[in-house]
């Protein structure tokens, strides 16, 4: 059953030259988009098939369209354009990691993936829709490996992506590569990051404990790299799971935190 709300447009086969493939892209336009000439922030999301439609999701959808429709009714200043890119199925773990995990045999295509987001997809969206193009009005988010790649994107392209939503952020797979990248990069002073982890991400208490420590380490490393404490929010959700039911419940609060004022 399809569950899309509002004006969601779908490009079934958007070309991705950086990965020599194509992928479905979803574009949500806010309620007031066709009523004037206002320009809007843009939120790019990973795992596009899980954002809007139960029929295409891998389990449950986030319901971002319903959430933003309601938020826009209550406060039109919260309206945004959302651009969600489908993951590549069996290519997801390769494309959502920029280093190779030798033990499990995945990764290594992440740099090409984020180059697509920054150098192909964002210019396409900016050229065809009324967007606020500045980095502080350009958000990127996701969950799990999608959260991980969202942070990586903003570190690699700080002039284009200035806000990160990293829900159920994980880095167990990278042997510390993202930490080393933060330490070796010039971190934008304008960056704002939301991170979360649940206390029930898996049924393994030790994994859950380490996952929480990992997110705390990322936050501390970002602060040591020059970000202020109020620019990096970390929410620990004791009963949070590695599932859309948790992620969708955190979305509105994370989005409010990231959206800049005028």
Residue 232 has pLDDT above 80, yes or no: yes
Predicted pLDDT at 54? 74
DSSP three-state, residue 187: coil
**Phi, psi (rounded to 5 degrees) for 123:** -60, -35
Is residue 226, in this structure, part of any structural domain at all?
A: yes
Which secondary-structure segment (H or E) carries 257?
A: helix 244-258
* Distance (Å, whole) CA 107 – CA 28: 29
Residue-wise pLDDT for 157-171, tens only, equals: 999 999 999 999 999
Instruction: Report the b/e string of 194-218 with b at 16+ CB within 10 A.
Output: bbbbbeebeeeeeebeebbebbeeb
DSSP three-state, residue 27: strand
Is residue 2, in this structure, part of any structural domain at all?
A: no
Predicted pLDDT at 220? 98
CATH of the domain at 100: 3.40.50.1820
CA angle 115, 120, 126 (to 5 degrees): 125
Residue-wise pLDDT for 46-97, tens only, equals: 999 999 877 676 667 788 999 999 999 999 999 999 999 999 999 999 999 9
Higher pLDDT among residues 255 and 260, named by residue: 255
Is residue 77, in this structure, part of any structural domain at all?
A: yes
Dmax (CA) of the chain: 53
* Distance (Å, whole) CA 168 – CA 147: 7
Residue 157: give the domain boundaries.
7-258
Predicted pLDDT at 2? 66
Is residue 246, in this structure, part of any structural domain at all?
A: yes
Residue 211 has pLDDT above 70, yes or no: yes
Is residue 102, in this structure, part of any structural domain at all?
A: yes
Is residue 1, in this structure, part of any structural domain at all?
A: no
Predicted pLDDT at 260? 74
**Phi, psi (rounded to 5 degrees) for 240:** -70, 140
Residue 257 has pLDDT above 90, yes or no: yes
Quote the mean pLDDT of the chain.
95
The domain total for the chain is 1
């Amino acid at each position: 059953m399809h569950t899309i709300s509002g004006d969601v447009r779908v490009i079934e086969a958007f070309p991705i030259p950086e990965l020599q493939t194509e992928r479905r892209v979803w574009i949500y336009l806010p309620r007031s988009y066709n009523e004037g000439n206002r320009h809007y922030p843009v939120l790019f999301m990973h795992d596009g098939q899980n954002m809007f439609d139960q029929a295409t999701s891998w389990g449950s959808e986030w319901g971002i369209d319903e959430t933003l429709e309601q938020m826009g009714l209550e406060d039109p200043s919260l309206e945004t354009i959302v651009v969600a890119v489908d993951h590549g199925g069996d290519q997801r773990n390769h494309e959502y990691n920029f280093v190779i995990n030798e033990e499990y045999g995945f990764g290594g295509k992440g740099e090409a993936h984020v180059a697509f987001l920054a150098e192909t997809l964002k210019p396409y969206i900016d050229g065809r829709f009324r967007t606020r193009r500045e980095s502080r009005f350009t958000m990127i988010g996701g969950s799990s490996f999608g959260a991980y790649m969202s942070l990586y994107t903003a570190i690699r392209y700080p002039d284009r992506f200035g806000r990160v939503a990293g829900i159920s952020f994980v880095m167990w797979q990278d042997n510390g590569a993202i930490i080393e990248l933060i330490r070796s990069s010039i971190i934008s002073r304008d960056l704002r990051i939301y991170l979360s982890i649940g206390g029930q991400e898996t049924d393994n208490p030790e994994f859950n404990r380490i996952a929480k420590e990992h997110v705390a380490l990322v936050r501390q490393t970002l602060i040591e790299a020059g970000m202020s404490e109020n620019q990096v929010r970390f929410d620990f959700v004791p009963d949070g799971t590695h599932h859309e039911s948790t992620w969708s419940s955190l979305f509105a609060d994370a989005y409010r935190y990231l959206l800049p004022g005028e």
